[in-house]
Structure 1
Amino acid sequence: MTKAHATSGTGGPATTATEEPGPAPSARPGWRHVSVRHWRGAAAAALVVMAALAPWQLEPFRVFQLTMVLVYLVALIGLNVLVGHSGQISLGHGAFFAVGAYSTAILLDRYDVPYVLTLPSAMAVAFLLGLALGASALRLRGLYLALVTLALAIFCVPLLKRFGSITGGSQGLTLEKPTPPAWTGLAEDQWLYYLALGVTAAMFLTYAGLLRSRVGRALHAIRDNETAAEVMGVRRSFYKTVAFAWSAMYAGAGGCLYTWTIGFVSPDSFAVSLSITMLAGLVVGGLGSRWGPALGALFVMYVPSLSQDVNEAAPGVIFGLLIIAVMFAAPTGLAGLPARLARSVRTRKE
């Protein structure tokens, strides 16, 4: 204990003040001061470890399901760029998914292209088609843009059936899946999972970098207020077209992974319902959220099958009711639910 003596300026008696120094901020328990960034980093590291070990802990069918989650995750990342980050709406994302799947299938079946080259080829084809659609739909927005993209999804299936000499028509195309190299010691389902995981990780990192770049900031400005964005010098037409192209490119990559994983493509696999299910999954996962596509991919993969298990006669009804329930419980999507619950707890304490 230390004592400090002070004399009053009026000549009064001296007063004695007792001071007890508290612990330095650095001496306090560290866990209370761990930043949110550290918690997120730890959660991401744990997620990576779990994803790497999953094929060794699960049976082949479960590994296949997780692979399909990764396939849909790549496609939904692209849809999130368009809808969640640039404010445009698309009901035709399944058409670009089909473009990637069929580009891969045709290259493998007709031209015997190595698997490793089909991924950039499918992405390039989808990117060019998205660029063309984005440039032609610049003057459309809202419901008009939604109708145009919906027409694209409706038109896709008959078009694939029409050119049967190339696409296989209604019968589709059956392909050999990528086989694991002997030195890996992996089973086929494990090899496909790790291929999808590697592509997904690369696409997710590219997506995160895009959001932190000038392009990401421009897309957010356009989404929030197009007029204000143009006043600040953001070229609305350029960035909206780029958003369409990037969205289609990610869908094309997802379609390529789909062909690798399934080993079969047919027009009926890419009906309009696929586009609607993807958009519903993204909304449920969380529009504009970095982790929304991951939660949406889980929703797209598991909820329809679980609905069918509950009632085979009306899986669509159960699927729709689940979407309504989630929207009431989490209007901003499942990705925003933790923050919503935290705010609710703080409000009650106050």
Structure 2
Amino acid sequence: MIGAAARPALSPRWRWGAAVAVLAAACYAPFQLVPFHVFQLTMVLVYAVALLGLNLLVGHAGQISLGHGAFFAVGAYVAAILLERWELPHLLTLPFAAALAFLLGLGLGVPAIRLRGLYLALVTLAIAIFLVPLLKRFEGMTGGSMGLTTAKPVPPAWSGLAEDQWLYFLTLAVAVAAFLLTAGLLRSRVGRALHAVRDNEAAAEVMGVRLSFYKTLAFAWSAMFAGAAGCVYTWVIGFVSPDSFTVNLSINLLAGLVVGGLGSLLGPLLGALFVMFVPSIAQSVNDAAPGVVFGLLIVVVMYVAPTGLSGLAERLIKKIPRKE
């Protein structure tokens, strides 16, 4: 059973203060950075939304998924098809992508409630593996190996923003909405039920928690966030192809979440930074074996911060002297 390691709780005052500071910095950043760095931060936000969903499943419900990249790909392709084939406005593709991913997650959650641990990991891994050849097979709809090219959102004249800045703020709006929705969900009865399932399934069932219902719901919500992230990915990149959604994406997402910190709202953001920047750092350190460098960095981070980077950050904040 997977659960978040115990970590010292911070007061709501500290949490709200940190959230406001991060949001203010996020709004200020695109006006000070070159377009490429703005693009990188935009992708961090995209991955953060996907990791929010994975965190619901792994960090809060105690399940595991090695196939989350598949839901990400579903959202990306739904957006691409609606934009390229049906010429829908960009914002309208988001609810369609999220809804279809939700339904697929709901469908996967039904058989998954009978599995746990290694068996559940293998089933979800299989989904990520067969997705790529499946996308290539339906060439008439998905574009096959060549993929689909779509137009990016055009900034309105009144905004005064460049294209990269407009994409960034669109993605930031989706990310903020996703974080607020997740925070509200975790404070609700659903969140308490998920934590009960994660901590002790037998005890949760005795207390009246319907295990099958909440496990299925966790998969569906988790897939929905991944699908929304995939949709925004299509807006940002303007291109999708099967080779962009290999099993490596699913593994990197799970690794990023563990490094960022399970069961923490800050964990997905830190994990997204890890997923975005560490592979490029590994590539620059050693062109011949970036995977080895990437793996070693994960080992080092987990040795220094067993509860993830968010747990390390909270421990450091707890050490700051405070006035009574």
Fold similarity call, TM over 0.5: yes
**Counterparts of 1:175 and 1:117 in 2: how far apart (Å)?**
15
Of 243, 247, 270, 2:245 maps to 270
CA deviation string 1:96-144 (max 9, x = no partner): 0000000000011111111111000000000000000001221000000
Using CA pairs below 8 Å that are at least 6 residues apart, which structure has the higher relative contact order?
Answer: 2
**Counterparts of 1:46 and 1:283 in 2: how far apart (Å)?**
24
CA 36–343 in structure 1, closer or farther in 2 if over 3 Å, else same: closer
Partner of 2:23: 48
Of 135, 143, 148, 1:160 maps to 135
CA deviation string 1:256-305 (max 9, x = no partner): 01000000000000000000000000000001111100000000000001
**Counterparts of 2:269 and 2:280 in 1: how far apart (Å)?**
18
**Counterparts of 1:38 and 1:173 in 2: how far apart (Å)?**
46
Q: How far apart are residue 338 of structure 1 and its match?
A: 3.4
Of 305, 312, 317, 1:337 maps to 312
**Counterparts of 1:120 and 1:50 in 2: how far apart (Å)?**
28
**Counterparts of 2:19 and 2:308 in 1: how far apart (Å)?**
20
1:248 aligns with 2:223: yes
Partner of 1:195: 170
Once the two structures are superposed, the pairs formed by residues 53-92 of structure 1 within 5 Å of their partners are 53-92=28-67
1:110 aligns with 2:85: yes
1:137 aligns with 2:116: no
**Counterparts of 2:266 and 2:317 in 1: how far apart (Å)?**
18
Q: TM-score, normalised by structure 2?
A: 0.94
**Counterparts of 1:303 and 1:98 in 2: how far apart (Å)?**
22
* Ranges in structure 2 where 5+ consecutive residues have no aligned partner: 1-9
CA deviation string 1:79-103 (max 9, x = no partner): 0000000000000000000000000
Partner of 2:236: 261
Q: How far apart are residue 182 of structure 1 and its match?
A: 0.9
Partner of 2:287: 312
CA 323–183 in structure 1, closer or farther in 2 if over 3 Å, else same: same
Secondary structure of residue in 2 paired with 1:206? helix
**Counterparts of 1:310 and 1:258 in 2: how far apart (Å)?**
27
The answer on whether the counterparts of 2:67 and 2:128 sit within 8 Å (CA) in structure 1 is: yes
**Counterparts of 2:317 and 2:108 in 1: how far apart (Å)?**
41
Q: TM-score, normalised by structure 1?
A: 0.87
- Over the residues paired in the alignment, what is the CA RMSD in angstroms? 1.5
**Counterparts of 1:313 and 1:298 in 2: how far apart (Å)?**
23
1:218 aligns with 2:189: no
Of 127, 137, 148, 2:123 maps to 148
Q: Percent identity at matched positions?
A: 72
CA 118–345 in structure 1, closer or farther in 2 if over 3 Å, else same: closer
CA deviation string 1:221-264 (max 9, x = no partner): 00000000000000000000000000000000000010000000
Supply the AA of the counterpart residue of 2:225.
Y
**Counterparts of 1:51 and 1:262 in 2: how far apart (Å)?**
20
Partner of 1:303: 278
Partner of 2:4: none
* Ranges in structure 1 where 5+ consecutive residues have no aligned partner: 1-34
**Counterparts of 2:13 and 2:312 in 1: how far apart (Å)?**
20
Based on CA coordinates, which of the two structures has the bigger radius of gyration? Answer: 1
Secondary structure of residue in 2 paired with 1:120? helix
Q: How far apart are residue 161 of structure 1 and its match?
A: 0.3
Q: How far apart are residue 47 of structure 1 and its match?
A: 1.2
Q: How far apart are residue 345 of structure 1 and its match?
A: 10
Q: How far apart are residue 36 of structure 1 and its match?
A: 3.3
Q: How far apart are residue 39 of structure 1 and its match?
A: 2.7
Supply the AA of the counterpart residue of 1:147.
L
**Counterparts of 2:151 and 2:61 in 1: how far apart (Å)?**
38
Of 211, 218, 229, 1:236 maps to 211
**Counterparts of 1:338 and 1:131 in 2: how far apart (Å)?**
34
CA deviation string 1:144-176 (max 9, x = no partner): 000000000001000000001100000000111
CA deviation string 1:39-91 (max 9, x = no partner): 33222211111111111010000000000000000000000000000000000
The answer on whether the counterparts of 2:179 and 2:265 sit within 8 Å (CA) in structure 1 is: no
Aligned residues: 312
1:121 aligns with 2:128: no
Partner of 1:100: 75
